[in-house]
Each structure stands twice: as C-alpha cells, then as structure tokens.
Amino acid sequence: MRAAVGIDDIAVYIPRLYLELADENRPEKPTEFSMARKSDPSKYLHGIGIAKMSIPDTYQDSAVLAANAIFELIERNNVHPSSLARIDIATETGVDESKPVAAYVHGMLEQKYGKGSLKRTSGVEYKFACVSTADALESSLDWAWAGRSNGKYSVICATDIARYPLTSPGEPTQGAGAVALLVKEDPRLLAIDPVIGTHMEDEDDFWRPLFSTTAVVHGKHSERCYLRAMEGAVDDWAEQAIASGIIRAGPGESLVDHVGPMSFHVPYPKMAEKAFAYLLRHFWRGLPRWKQILREIGEEPKADRYKKREEFEKAEADYMKLFMETHQFQTEYLDKVADGLVHARESGNSYSASEKSCLSMLLETKAMRGTDLAGKRGGSGNYGSGCKAKASSWTVREEWAATAKKFGHAEKLHHRRPISLAEYEILHEGKPFPDGRKFVAEPENEFVLVDVTSQGYRHYKFAD
Ligand code: HMG
C-alpha cells in the first residue's frame, strides 16, 4: 500500500503594500484608482470580485517573495536543512532566462543556515503559467510515492508578480505573493489522492513575450479557455477516481457530492465562482435536482439554436448568472468554495501562487470557525494559460486544524498599508520616486533584493 503523502504545512508571503480598488464597506464610493481609470468601483468588487491588489516594493522580486515564504515554513516547523531533499519553485515571473529562482533562493537560505547547508538539497524552476505549482507538487508526490524520500521532506514554493500594462483591462487583476508547502509522508494537513486529472491544449489566451515585463492577454478568450480546460481536467480526474474506487456516487448523486472544500486558481474571485458553477452544471445534469433547477430557471441555451456565436455566448452568460443565483448553487458555493476566495479579493492574482493561497485561506478560515473537516475529501483545480488545467483530490487529516490555525494568513492580509495611485504607478513602471525615497515601506526581518549588476546578476540579503 502507498504511504499517505501530502501537505504538512503552508506558509504564505504577501507583500505589505496594497492598492485599493474598491471600499468593501462602501462599494459605490469612488477610489483614487476607479476615478483615474474612469470606472465604477462596484465593477471591481462585484463584477470581478477584487477589492485590493498586493503590490511588491522596490526590493522585492519573485525570488525574494519565495525565500521569505520558505524561510517562514522552515522556521515554524524547525526543519533542519539536511532533511530537505528538494526545494522546487513554480513561477512564471522568474528573474533570469537561465539561472532558476531555485538557485537564488538556495543562496538566500544559506545566508541564514550556513554556506553548504543545502548542498544536498536539489531545486528546479517549473514553468507553465499558473498551473506549474500542480506539476511541481505532482513530481514531489511521485518521488515520495516511489519510496525515494527516505524520511526527508520536499518544499514546493509558488511565487509570482502578476502585472499587466497600466490602464489595460487586466490591470485590476494584478497582485503578488508566494506560498510554500511542506510535502512529506504522514502529513498533518492533507493526504493527496494518487489520482490527478489533466487537460492541455496549445492556446493563445495569455502569454508574456521575452521582451516584455507585462503579460499580453485575450481576456474574454482566457475565461473560456479556463472553463473548458478545468472541465476537461475534472472529467479526467473523475474517470480515474471511479476506476480506482476512491469515490462511488450512488443513485441520484454526483461525484462532486463526495468532494467537500475546494480550492481553485483565482485570477479574480468571480472566475473561480463561475468555474465552480460550470462544474456543478456539468455534474448535476441528468440528476433529479437538475430537473428542479430547470423548472426554476428554464432550459440551458443550446448552441445550434443561435445564428451567431456571440448570441449563444450572451445567452450562456445570462443563464450562468441565473444558475449562480439559485439557492442550490449558493448553498454549495458558500459551504465549499467562498472562504478560500477571500485571499484573491484582498490581494489579487498571484499566478502560480494563487490556488495554494486560496487553499491556505480556506483551511485557515474553516479551522478558525471550528468546522469539522477531518476525514473529509476535498479538491483542487489549477489552471495555467497556454493552456493546461489539473484537478486533484485529497483527504483532510485528523490533526489539520491545529496546523491551519497557525498559518497567520488573515493576519498577514491585515498587516499591510495602502499606497497612493502615484506610488503604485511608480512601482509598476520601475521609475525612481521624485522625492528620492528608495522604497515605500522599511523591510521587516525579510530577504530583500540589494542590487542587480550591469551583467544582470542579482544580490540578495536578509534585512534584520
Ligand atoms: P473587462 O473588460 O473589465 O470585462 O475585463 P467586463 O467589462 O466584461 O467586466 C467584468 C465583469 O464585471 C462583467 O461580469 C460585468 O458585467 C461586470 P460578467 O459578465 O463577466 O459576469 N460589471 C459590473 N458589475 C457590477 N457593477 C458594475 C459593473 N460593470 C461591469 N458597475 C477581464 C475583465 C477579466 C477579462 C480582464 O480583467 C482581464 O483580461 N484580466 C486578465 C485575464 C484573466 O484574468 N483571465 C482569467 C482566466 S485566464 C487565467 O486565469 C490565467 C492567468 O492567471 C494567467 C496564468 O495562467 O498565468 C490570467
């Protein structure tokens, strides 16, 4: 029998600066950002679901964010460096075309633990837009399931800075952050099922050419790619879950009835909410409860009844909104998904770090509320533009709550300061501050980028 392998602990690093898009208590009140972009703040809060975007300071890049998350994870768990077999990094905003973020992170950690302390620890950088974290995790799981971990741990860290051009439609979906996972046998949080679904295509929904610091995106197209790929990955997972017997749906039941808490890739909360609605429609069709829903909101639009594709897409979007208002959807959504989306509402997209930040928020919130999840099965859906989705499931361990209560995730979101639109635009464009300041907020016991040489080599240090 395979050993239970999975996630033992999670540490999230969130930059301490944020730009407010909408005031959550008074959504109608214009913000500096909404006025500058001649937009309605309710569109940010209710249309896409984002209130604040985390913004990195001048001394932060994806390597720094990762090192800070990993350092917290190692310290909190008193992990000795010699017990770390690998520290793998998932990112799509790496700092070099050749040297992986994993190597820079190695160097930063050795500044704390001693030169050579991690020389037997491997590391690599994974890239596939936001889904690369799932690939990195799968590789560590395979390594442990194959019996090669020999009692050692693996750390997976996802880190990214989501950046679109100023004033572009993608701009309100920016953000930044890193999330580090301790992966081991007999984990305290989640044991992951050896059943992982995949769907991959070559798509032009979102990419960042080598010459650009911001992404190019076909926004509406990317939403359709996300839904299609997620459905494909979940179908693949479902086939394997049934074949391996880990889940059996009885008469009138759907497989999703057997999956409780769920985390998704969250470019913005509305996207994950729509993905969940799309999956429920997919899995509920044909069940008695679906007949009841059809009685309430009418038949689903069918493509062959529309002359133009745009007309069908409009009817489909309208139908989705009706479904998302039903009490059947709302009950499932609030129970299984909504808690995790608070991270993206407060921080924005963090690309590869998004889904596991959603998972961290979900587990911490449920633990704080005293929800009993022990022994329950949950699921994760990752999406990466380009495009690929992965769907996986896991079982919550008996001792999960004590660990999740120590994440400090909500506290970190709270411990941030707002910046002005002018400060945000200077940071975004990498320009000097007119008043000569070198940064916005003083570093607080964390790794920082010191300089980049004329040859592009980067120096980092721990700022006490
Ligand atoms: P937009 O032009 O702002 O879209 O772009 P919109 O005008 O259609 O508005 C968005 C929603 O707000 C609509 O709701 C409006 O009705 C609503 P929907 O019809 O979609 O349900 N709205 C309002 N609601 C309340 N009050 C109002 C109001 N006004 C309008 N006053 C878009 C939105 C997301 C496309 C854009 O921000 C974008 O391009 N973002 C970047 C791409 C993206 O995030 N795509 C998601 C899927 S791809 C992905 O997840 C991968 C990614 O993370 C990258 C990677 O993998 O590496 C991006």
Q: Residue 48 Cα, ligand 1 centroid: separation in angstroms?
A: 6
pLDDT in tens, 47-87: 999 999 999 999 999 999 999 999 999 999 999 999 999 99
List the one residue out of 351, 267, 422 whose CA is nearest residue 65: 351
pLDDT higher than threshold 90 for residue 2: no
Q: CA 401, CA 189: separation in Å to the nearest integer? A: 8
Q: What pLDDT does 135 receive?
A: 98
Q: Strand 190-200 and strand 5-13: pairing?
A: antiparallel
The first and second tokens of residue 376, run together, are 């329950």
Evaluate: CB of 305 within 6 angstroms of ligand 1. no
Ligand 1, atom 37, residue with closest C-alpha: 170
Taken in order of first residue, the domains within the chain and their CATH numbers are: 5-463 (3.40.47.10)
Evaluate: CB of 222 within 6 angstroms of ligand 1. yes
Q: What pLDDT does 1 receive?
A: 65
> Residue 303: helix, strand or coil by DSSP?
helix
Cβ-proximal residues to 313 (8 Å cutoff; 6+ apart), any chain: none
Ligand 1, atom 46, residue with closest C-alpha: 223
Percentage of the chain exceeding pLDDT 90: 99
Q: Residue 171 Cα, ligand 1 centroid: separation in angstroms?
A: 10
pLDDT in tens, 220-255: 999 999 999 999 999 999 999 999 999 999 999 999
Q: What pLDDT does 369 receive?
A: 98
- Ramachandran angles phi, psi of 151, nearest 5°: 80, 0
Quick one: pLDDT band at residue 3, thresholds 50, 70, 90? Answer: confident
Vertex 119: Cα angle to 117 and 124 (nearest 5): 120
Cβ-proximal residues to 154 (8 Å cutoff; 6+ apart), any chain: 84, 85, 86, 87, 88, 140, 143, 144, 183, 184
Is 155 within 8 Å of 83 (Cβ atoms)?
A: no
Q: What pLDDT does 119 receive?
A: 97
Among 24, 128, 161, 217, say which to mutate for ligand 1: greatest number of ligand atoms within 8 Å of CB: 217
Evaluate: CB of 28 within 6 angstroms of ligand 1. no
Evaluate: CB of 30 within 6 angstroms of ligand 1. no
- Which atom number of ligand 1 is nearest to the Cα of residue 349? 53
Average pLDDT over residues 138-147: 97
Q: CA 121, CA 117: separation in Å to the nearest integer? A: 9
Evaluate: CB of 169 within 6 angstroms of ligand 1. yes
- Which atom number of ligand 1 is nearest to the Cα of residue 220? 35
Q: CA 415, CA 427: separation in Å to the nearest integer? A: 20
The first and second tokens of residue 456, run together, are 């592009």
Average pLDDT over residues 146-172: 97
Evaluate: CB of 241 within 6 angstroms of ligand 1. no
Evaluate: CB of 244 within 6 angstroms of ligand 1. no
The first and second tokens of residue 427, run together, are 């940071």
- Which atom number of ligand 1 is nearest to the Cα of residue 205? 48
- Which atom number of ligand 1 is nearest to the Cα of residue 131? 56
Q: CA 197, CA 410: separation in Å to the nearest integer? A: 31
pLDDT higher than threshold 80 for residue 99: yes
Tell me whether the omega of the peptide bond preceding residue 387 falls within 30 degrees of 0, making it cis.
yes
Q: CA 281, CA 329: separation in Å to the nearest integer? A: 9
pLDDT in tens, 167-219: 999 999 999 999 999 999 999 999 999 999 999 999 999 999 999 999 999 99
Evaluate: CB of 220 within 6 angstroms of ligand 1. yes
- Which atom number of ligand 1 is nearest to the Cα of residue 386? 56
- Ramachandran angles phi, psi of 54, nearest 5°: -75, 135
Average pLDDT over residues 437-450: 97
Evaluate: CB of 223 within 6 angstroms of ligand 1. yes
> Residue 324: helix, strand or coil by DSSP?
helix
Q: Residue 62 Cα, ligand 1 centroid: separation in angstroms?
A: 25
Average pLDDT, the chain: 97
Rounded to 10 deg, the angle between the 269-284 and 288-297 helix axes is 120
Average pLDDT over residues 157-161: 98
Cβ-proximal residues to 275 (8 Å cutoff; 6+ apart), any chain: 226, 227, 230, 264, 381, 383
Among 23, 206, 320, say which to mutate for ligand 1: greatest number of ligand atoms within 8 Å of CB: 206
How many helices (H) does the chain have, and how many strands (E)? 15, 16
Q: CA 368, CA 364: separation in Å to the nearest integer? A: 6
